[in-house]
Structure 1
């Protein structure tokens, strides 16, 4: 009996030891864990060093985190869209020389090209489920981003900072954004009169009747600016007709990189307050005001000043200050030359 007890105790201790060893091994296998917008769990044993990013707003996050040295693949549109190439080329010589591979874009991806680059993390917005499953089966984690609402921006900044080993930098940027939002809210609370200005937003490339609904990142940006979205529809990007815009009669129109003449030349719209009072403004160049990134702060600052004629502070200087924090001193100095 004494021998049996000794043997049983020994087996129990060995079992516990093995269990602890397994637990430690499991912990070592997954020291970084996040869950993306689609509920996919991403586990890394260490910070990613070889990242393919096929979603432009997430590329911007990586540059803001100062983790661009980890990029080994970027969206194809980075090279042929001047609103991207003309700016990224100033802060990354690999983009200037078009040396970084482009194994896909926001909607299309070349599975073979991705695999050949041997990434330890892929970030995308839209990938076919078959590609995601194939990559996951090859132990290549896939993080799906959205950047569709402001809470997405905060979450994805935190997640990507963890995945890239830039947690401290991510916390710094999130804290800055939260403080800037509080500052904008204080400005809104002290605006003259209780009625906020009504603003109609229109997308680029001549789509003057394509706007931003209440369920959109641009709506969040308008809220930050302390104005009311003229569009009452609870969808992302509704298309309307001229009669609807006339009925809404916005106080101001904000355009996305297009000429105000697209409105001024339409005689049927001449009675709209924003057009009569020539209150049409342009977020241009687009790169500095992308609402799907933390640069939505730049857009909100500009819209707030346009709406309330706040001349106490030059918004260009404030936008430069925002960019300086978001990109860091060295990169921002190269970028603000073209603002």
Structure 2
């Protein structure tokens, strides 16, 4: 009998150590990213290299910025990122956090030297992902291109960092706000909707947003019609096309309205004649590739309705405090 008992105990022990048991133990995290890669962690990540700025933003909203050991290079190079982040993280202010890559590139040796549990990026080659995996470094790829993706990726990162409750809170709040906005938009008759033209930053007034984009989602949530019907993300148009669209309002991404007013050929456009040109500035507060697409939509909705700009700006401030927490939120709104 004693031999039977010992044999049974040995079988139980071997079963516990068998293939696949590691992933099933209590606390294991397994999910699939936007590119279909399986991401596995035995416990929430404690050291994170994030090379994609919308995901870094999500980490700050989750109040898990202490896990960051590496950030995108553009955080220091782009003042639109550096100024707000330096207000809420002294490591960024003093440029102490490593920058082992950016949205488009990753320095494998620099990443490995930081000994992270998790790397978050937008693009990464299969070879790099495999090499990191062999060193027990998980890789999560994000895209943040559409509303549902933004919510899923926020929830995923919350799970990977052990901040599921905070992620659920942010997702629920954002969904609730957008649902109220959708209800209001649905009540507006099609013929009464403002026709809006959106233009990206850095003087690119003929670079707009098509129907397959997060900014198009923002326009729809705001209850306005996107004059561009192209089924792509960021098409380029010409002056003749813009004139033929004749938008009622123009929404600019971090650029001055004078770029339109200075062009005589555009003077007959309704939005130009009526000075209905509005600016999402500073862009940090309206990034459509984060849940701050809510603030962008809310301001566009207010502009379309002719509301006082101060009223919607106060709403943005409240949302920033909700998204970043009382302490960091109040620091950030000093920039508005």
Output the TM-score relative to the length of structure 1: 0.93
Instruction: For residue 43 of structure 1, give the secondary structure of its aligned residue in structure 2.
Output: strand
Alpha-carbon RMSD = 2.1
Equivalences for residues 41-56 of structure 1 within 5 A: 41-56=38-53
Matched, 1:19 2:15: yes
Distance 1:8 1:193 in 2: 78
Q: 1:193 to 1:137 in 2, by over 3 A?
A: closer
Matched, 1:120 2:105: no
Contact 1:122 1:141 in 2 (8 A): yes
Instruction: For residue 192 of structure 2, give the secondary structure of its aligned residue in structure 1.
Output: coil
Gaps spanning 5+ residues in structure 2: where?
none
Q: Deviations over 1:48-99 (max 9, x none)?
A: 0000000000000000000000000000110010000010000000000000
Residue 261 (structure 1) aligned to one of 258, 261, 264: 258
Larger radius of gyration: 1
Residue 70 (structure 1) aligned to one of 67, 72, 81: 67
Matched, 1:219 2:216: yes
Matched, 1:239 2:236: yes
Contact 1:198 1:252 in 2 (8 A): yes
Contact 2:50 2:119 in 1 (8 A): yes
Q: How far did 1:261 drift?
A: 1.0
Residue 303 (structure 2) aligned to one of 294, 302, 306: 306
The count of corresponding residues between Structure 1 and Structure 2 is 335
Q: How far did 1:154 drift?
A: 0.7
- 1:291 alignment partner in structure 2: 288
Distance 2:4 2:324 in 1: 62
Distance 1:198 1:234 in 2: 17
Instruction: For residue 282 of structure 1, give the secondary structure of its aligned residue in structure 2.
Output: strand
Q: How far did 1:14 drift?
A: 5.2
Instruction: For residue 310 of structure 1, give the secondary structure of its aligned residue in structure 2.
Output: coil
Contact 2:23 2:29 in 1 (8 A): no
Output the TM-score relative to the length of structure 2: 0.94
Q: Deviations over 1:159-198 (max 9, x none)?
A: 0000000000000000000110112123223447753111
Distance 1:118 1:134 in 2: 13
Distance 1:282 1:156 in 2: 27
Equivalences for residues 183-222 of structure 1 within 5 A: 183-191=180-188, 194-222=191-219
Structure 1 outlier segments of 4+, above 6 Å: 6-10
Q: How far did 1:16 drift?
A: 5.3
Q: Deviations over 1:17-66 (max 9, x none)?
A: 63355475442287111110001011111100000000000000000000
Gaps spanning 5+ residues in structure 1: where?
none
- 2:56 alignment partner in structure 1: 59
Q: How far did 1:207 drift?
A: 0.3
Matched, 1:32 2:29: yes
Q: 1:311 to 1:187 in 2, by over 3 A?
A: farther
